């Protein structure tokens, strides 16, 4: 595998050309990893563009990170491609930040059906609300869990 | 014609399946009756720990690295030694790897079950005792009369 | 589509709409105590004998591993990270150390990389054999329950001489592996892999060519190509639908870039295809083990690596037995990670279960959904 990142540079350029004002930043972190930061209200258009025009059709997961010192949650969609045969190793991390005291985001289940369970998990673990999600119920936690969303930084458990 | 050929092929495959099983019909199972017949483990097996009292300095690195926090450092006179709680130990032996004085060692002793939880706390003196000799004599081998089985070790 | 009401429904069993007005459907809870469900629950809506929809209800073995990892330093997390799929421990361990090494900038020595591939392939075989034995017993074939578990002993015994433990290896650490090969390992392993390949032929005769299996698995539980990609499936589930995707070839890690092996796919997407992909992969892993032992370079097996997670983020993934296992690791400079997002192969295939069970008869339910190789503990973490 080559150590240069021309394909990644081309992808970043295409994204910046098509969404000049919407994308906050798009960087090539290293070979095979691209970070794209977008505001939450523009994410659906960019997601559809990534899926249809660039061929990133295979959702690899959704992570939520609690940056409590910056008062925000960051939701990261990890995307891979099956269609584009020479970009099988590239992963695009599509990031959006929502404020910590009113965390609402738009669900991308209509774009990639596979993100349904990850968004459900982020909902129960962090308390982030995904508008438009078809099944906003608890996935792993007990149905009668009354406590705070457990993965938040202020929730401490008496272990270790 | 095709359905008849299909049924014939299915019958042949079915007979192959039965004969594959029938070939093993009269073989004895190879189950070891522990503890009369014991399975020999090689040196380097991650069993319980052996503590070399002369080398231990009581630094506490083993207690810091233990994933399950099973090790407590206890005082004996003016020296400090680890005390293990085997009820939570996962036998990962990171403590053995990270000890800077090489005071801990793996032993092949794995049957340390007790009837009460208190007996699972091993004091430094108990850890320093060498492992009990057991008559382990069965090893796993694929050269047995019908393939894989536990066979007595050479020399037993 | 099923419509559910959020407030009163705590079991997920209410308000699934029937297919036509006047028709009655039955909701069955194939619960965690059922012998055909594993440790998770499937809420199945039945129209007579046909399954209309099957919603999985995981979470019975959730242990909060992502939270535990944030509380422990990176070496103490290794046994915890292996536990979700302990039968496939080294592949999960590999994802973790790969993420740490990417942040630290440490590259293990070549012999360490080859030994990592060796234990990975042995784990792949062990995991597939376990899958095969449970598949046999789900279908009522108790010989197929016993034989793979007995042959798994070949590899467990080898792994015990290599790492010191039978199943809970904790063999990979940042910087390399913990031990080198013992004496006589290579000859014994080559003998056992050849014996194992003969046993795989016997499995084909007794189970995979058996009309009692093929008539129950061919054409059952179809997952089409487009749905497999859109749902994010991975591993043998994806390769059983004809898609050529294997991280060992697409994003080579450890020593896989220097090894010669094929990626096996099957075009049909039914349960039989997925089962045969598992069989083909076992054969390929067996030959890979011999190749690794042949090409093993000399040198150290471990390089020094600090117990620190440098500032930054890394997304590392490996091909575990059930699919892609990935870590999204964010560090802030201490010895504990700031956030470690852990997604395993089974968790990714959870969306494929309702898809595969649509339109299948209730009696064929274990055949279809176990062929995805969904391991509930790995998905719940």
Confidence of residue B145 (pLDDT cuts 50, 70, 90): low
Same domain, C41 and C88: no
Residue-level pLDDT at A160? 57
Rounded to an integer, what distance in angstroms lies between the CA atom of residue B124 and that of residue B50? 9
Rounded to an integer, what distance in angstroms lies between the CA atom of residue A31 and that of residue C226? 28
From C366, C372, C329, C376, select the one nearest C99 (Cα to Cα): C329
Running DSSP on this structure, what letter comes out for residue C363? Answer: G
- Cβ atoms of residues C30 and C364 within 8 Å: no
Least reliable range by pLDDT among A63-67, C29-33, C142-146: C29-33
Same domain, C80 and C226: yes
C72 touches chain B (CB under 8 A): yes
From C217, C211, C213, select the one nearest C356 (Cα to Cα): C217
From C170, C108, C74, C115, select the one nearest C302 (Cα to Cα): C108
Q: How far is CA B76 from the centre of its chain?
A: 31
Same domain, C56 and C202: no
C209 touches chain B (CB under 8 A): yes
C191 touches chain B (CB under 8 A): yes
Contacts of C170 in chain B (CB under 8 A): 92, 94
Contacts of C232 in chain A (CB under 8 A): 58-61, 112, 114-115
Q: From C177, which residue of chain B is nearest by alpha-carbon distance?
A: B97
C379 CB contacts (<8 Å, ≥6 apart)?
A: C40, C58, C344, C346, C347, C349, C350
- Cβ atoms of residues C130 and C119 within 8 Å: no
**B 4-23 residues with CB below 8 A of C?**
10-11, 13-14, 16-17, 20-21
pLDDT of C23 above 60: yes
C303 against A30, higher pLDDT = C303
Chains in contact with A via at least 3 Cβ–Cβ pairs below 8 Å: C
Coil, helix or strand at residue B149: strand
* Chain segment B37-92, per-residue pLDDT in tens: 888 888 889 989 999 999 999 999 999 999 999 999 999 999 999 999 999 999 99
CATH code for the domain in which residue C161 is found: 1.10.645.10
Total number of domains constituting chain C:
2
Full domain range(s) for residue A19: 6-101
The pLDDT tens digits along chain A (160 residues) read 456 778 888 888 888 888 888 788 888 888 889 999 999 888 888 889 888 888 888 999 999 999 989 999 999 999 999 888 888 888 999 999 999 888 899 999 998 998 999 999 999 999 898 988 988 888 888 888 888 888 888 888 776 5
Average pLDDT value for residue range B126-141 = 81
* Chain segment C164-221, per-residue pLDDT in tens: 999 999 999 999 999 999 988 999 999 899 999 988 998 888 888 888 888 888 888 8
Confidence of residue C93 (pLDDT cuts 50, 70, 90): very high
A89 touches chain C (CB under 8 A): yes
Same domain, C42 and C91: no
pLDDT of B144 above 80: no
pLDDT of C128 above 90: yes
pLDDT of C15 above 90: no
Residue that terminates a domain, selected from C60, C81, C104: C60
B11 CB contacts (<8 Å, ≥6 apart)?
A: C211
Identify whether A36 is part of a domain: yes
- Cβ atoms of residues B27 and B146 within 8 Å: yes
Option in A78, A113, A134 nearest C351 (CB):
A113
Interface test with C, best of A27, A37, A61, A85 (most C CBs within 10 A): A61
**B-C interface: how many C-beta pairs under 8 angstroms?**
81
Report CB contact under 8 Å: C252, A1. yes
Same domain, C48 and C77: no
Full domain range(s) for residue C107: 65-380
Same domain, C5 and C118: no
**C97-111 b/e (C-beta count within 10 Å ≥ 16 → b):** bbbbbbbbebebbbb
Report CB contact under 8 Å: C351, A137. no
Same domain, C240 and C127: yes
Identify whether A149 is part of a domain: no
User: Which pair of tokens denotes residue B139?
Assistant: 């090893």
Rounded to an integer, what distance in angstroms lies between the CA atom of residue C48 and that of residue C359? 11
Q: From B30, which residue of chain C is nearest by alpha-carbon distance?
A: C150
pLDDT of C310 above 60: yes
Same domain, C203 and C112: yes
Identify whether A67 is part of a domain: yes
* Chain segment B83-129, per-residue pLDDT in tens: 999 999 999 999 999 999 999 999 988 888 899 999 999 999 999 99
- Cβ atoms of residues B121 and B83 within 8 Å: yes
Total number of domains constituting chain A:
1
pLDDT of C225 above 70: yes
Residue that terminates a domain, selected from C16, C36, C60: C60
* Chain segment A53-85, per-residue pLDDT in tens: 888 889 999 999 999 899 999 999 999 998 888
CATH code for the domain in which residue A87 is found: 3.30.460.80
Same domain, C202 and C274: yes
Interface test with C, best of A33, A59, A81, A114 (most C CBs within 10 A): A114
> What are chain B's domains?
49-123 (3.30.70.3270)
Distance from CA of C242 to the nearest CA of B (A): 26
Same domain, C103 and C141: yes
Residue-level pLDDT at C163? 92
Same domain, C48 and C97: no
Average pLDDT value for residue range C18-46 = 77
**Please, where are the H alpha helices in chain B?**
2-22, 61-65, 94-98, 124-128
Contacts of C234 in chain A (CB under 8 A): 60
Residue-level pLDDT at C14? 45
Rounded to an integer, what distance in angstroms lies between the CA atom of residue B134 and that of residue A79? 56
Q: What is the mean pLDDT of chain C?
A: 87
Rounded to an integer, what distance in angstroms lies between the CA atom of residue C56 and that of residue C29? 10
B147 touches chain C (CB under 8 A): yes
Option in C67, C229, C233 nearest A150 (CB):
C67
Contacts of C205 in chain B (CB under 8 A): 16-17, 20
Report CB contact under 8 Å: C192, B142. yes
Option in C80, C165, C192 nearest B46 (CB):
C165
Average pLDDT value for residue range C73-81 = 92
N- to C-terminal Cα distance for chain C? 29
- Cβ atoms of residues C36 and C138 within 8 Å: yes
Confidence of residue C3 (pLDDT cuts 50, 70, 90): very low
Least reliable range by pLDDT among B143-152, C27-36, C44-53: B143-152
Residue-level pLDDT at C19? 55
Same domain, C53 and C158: no
pLDDT of C13 above 70: no
Burial of C271 (0-12, 13-18, 19+ CB in 10 A): buried
Residue-level pLDDT at C29? 87
Parallel, antiparallel, or unpaired: how do β-strands B138-144 and B104-106 relate? unpaired
B67 touches chain C (CB under 8 A): yes
Q: From C345, which residue of chain A is nearest by alpha-carbon distance?
A: A60
Burial of C183 (0-12, 13-18, 19+ CB in 10 A): exposed
């Amino acid at each position: 595998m080559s150590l240069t990142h021309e394909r990644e540079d081309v992808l970043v350029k295409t994204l910046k050309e098509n969404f000049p004002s919407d994308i906050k930043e798009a960087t090539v972190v290293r070979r095979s990893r691209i970070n794209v930061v977008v505001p939450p209200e523009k994410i659906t258009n960019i997601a559809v563009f990534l899926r249809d025009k660039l061929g990133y059709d295979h959702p690899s997961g959704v992570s939520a990170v609690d940056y409590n010192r910056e008062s925000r949650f960051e939701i990261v969609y990890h995307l891979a491609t099956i269609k584009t045969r020479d970009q099988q190793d590239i992963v695009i991390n599509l990031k959006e930040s929502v404020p910590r005291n009113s965390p609402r985001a738009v669900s991308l289940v209509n774009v990639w059906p596979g993100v349904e369970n990850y968004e459900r998990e982020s909902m129960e673990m962090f308390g982030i609300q995904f508008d438009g999600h078809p099944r906003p119920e608890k996935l792993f936690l007990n149905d009668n869990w009354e406590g705070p969303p457990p993965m938040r930084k202020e929730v401490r458990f008496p272990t270790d | 014609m095709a359905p008849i050929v299909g049924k014939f092929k299915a019958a042949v495959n079915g007979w192959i399946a039965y004969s594959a099983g029938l070939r093993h019909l009269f073989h004895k199972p190879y189950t070891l009756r522990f503890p009369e017949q014991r399975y020999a483990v090689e040196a380097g097996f991650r069993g319980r720990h052996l503590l070399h009292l002369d080398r231990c300095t009581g630094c506490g690195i083993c207690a810091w690295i233990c994933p399950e926090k099973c090790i407590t450092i206890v005082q004996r006179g003016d020296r400090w030694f680890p005390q293990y709680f085997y009820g939570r130990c996962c036998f990962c032996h990171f403590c053995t790897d990270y000890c800077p004085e090489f005071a801990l060692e793996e032993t092949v002793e794995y049957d340390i079950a007790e009837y009460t939880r208190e007996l699972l706390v091993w004091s430094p003196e108990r850890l320093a005792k060498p492992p009990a000799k057991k008559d382990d004599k069965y090893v796993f081998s694929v050269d047995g009369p019908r393939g894989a089985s536990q066979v007595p070790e050479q020399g037993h | 589509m099923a419509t559910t009401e959020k407030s009163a429904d705590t079991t997920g069993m209410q308000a699934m709409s029937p297919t036509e007005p006047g028709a009655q459907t039955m909701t069955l809870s194939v619960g965690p105590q059922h012998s055909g469900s594993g440790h998770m629950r499937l809420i199945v809506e039945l129209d007579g004998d046909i399954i209309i929809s099957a919603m999985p209800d995981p979470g019975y073995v959730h242990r909060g591993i992502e939270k535990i990892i944030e509380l422990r330093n990176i070496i103490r997390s290794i046994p915890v990270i292996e536990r979700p799929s302990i039968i496939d421990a080294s592949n999960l361990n590999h994802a973790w150390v790969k993420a740490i090494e990417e942040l630290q900038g440490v590259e293990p020595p070549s012999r360490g990389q080859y030994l990592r591939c060796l234990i990975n392939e042995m784990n792949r075989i062990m995991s597939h054999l376990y899958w095969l034995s449970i598949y046999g017993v789900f279908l009522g074939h108790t010989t197929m329950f016993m034989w793979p578990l007995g042959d798994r002993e070949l590899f467990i015994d080898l792994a015990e001489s290599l790492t010191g433990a039978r199943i809970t290896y904790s063999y990979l650490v940042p910087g390399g592996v913990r031990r080198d090969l013992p004496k006589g390992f290579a000859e014994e392993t080559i003998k056992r892999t050849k014996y194992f390949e003969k046993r795989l032929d016997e499995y084909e005769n007794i189970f995979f060519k058996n009309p009692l299996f093929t008539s129950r698995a061919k054409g059952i539980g179809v997952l089409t190509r487009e749905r497999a990609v859109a749902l994010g499936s991975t591993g043998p589930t994806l390769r059983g639908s004809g898609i050529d995707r294997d991280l060992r070839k697409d994003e080579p890690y450890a020593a896989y870039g220097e090894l010669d092996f094929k990626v096996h796919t099957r075009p049909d997407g039914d349960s039989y295809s997925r089962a045969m992909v598992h069989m083909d992969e076992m054969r390929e892993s067996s030959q890979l083990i011999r190749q690794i032992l042949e090409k093993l370079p000399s040198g150290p097996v471990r390089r020094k690596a600090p117990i620190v997670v440098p500032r930054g983020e890394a997304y590392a993934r490996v091909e575990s037995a059930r699919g892609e296992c990935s870590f999204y690791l964010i560090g802030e400079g201490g010895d504990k990670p700031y956030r470690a997002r852990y997604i395993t192969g089974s968790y990714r295939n959870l969306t494929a279960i309702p898809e595969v069970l649509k339109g299948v008869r209730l009696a064929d339910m274990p055949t279809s959904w176990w062929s995805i190789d969904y391991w509930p503990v790995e998905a719940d973490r």
